[in-house]
């Protein structure tokens, strides 16, 4: 499954949003924002496994 994300900075936080699922999170650094997105996507995809199945 290929995912795409958009990253932008608002004040002192980096915001990151995965385009397909709409999962959005933040972090104080780019690396933290990416790691938080990975964790949030894992939880999201556990809840909605049909999204993974569609991508295969």
pLDDT at 54 over 70: no
Look at residue 2 and give its three-state secondary structure: coil
Distance CA 10, CA 53 (A): 34
Q: How many structural domains comprise the chain? A: 1
Q: What is the pLDDT of residues 6-46, one digit of tens each?
A: 999 999 999 999 998 999 999 999 999 999 999 999 999 88
Query: Which residues span the domain enclosing 31?
Result: 5-50
Q: Which helix (H) or strand (E) holds 24?
A: strand 24-27
Distance CA 14, CA 20 (A): 19
Q: Which helix (H) or strand (E) holds 25?
A: strand 24-27
Cβ(32)–Cβ(14) below 8 Å: yes
Is 55 among the domain residues? no
Is 56 among the domain residues? no
Is 22 among the domain residues? yes
For the entire predicted model, the pTM comes to 0.84
């Amino acid at each position: 499954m290929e995912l795409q994300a958009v990253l932008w900075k608002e004040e002192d936080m980096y915001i990151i949003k995965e385009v397909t699922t709409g999962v959005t999170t933040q972090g104080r650094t780019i690396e933290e924002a990416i790691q938080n997105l990975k964790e949030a996507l894992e939880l999201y995809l556990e809840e909605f496994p049909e999204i993974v199945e569609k991508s295969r």
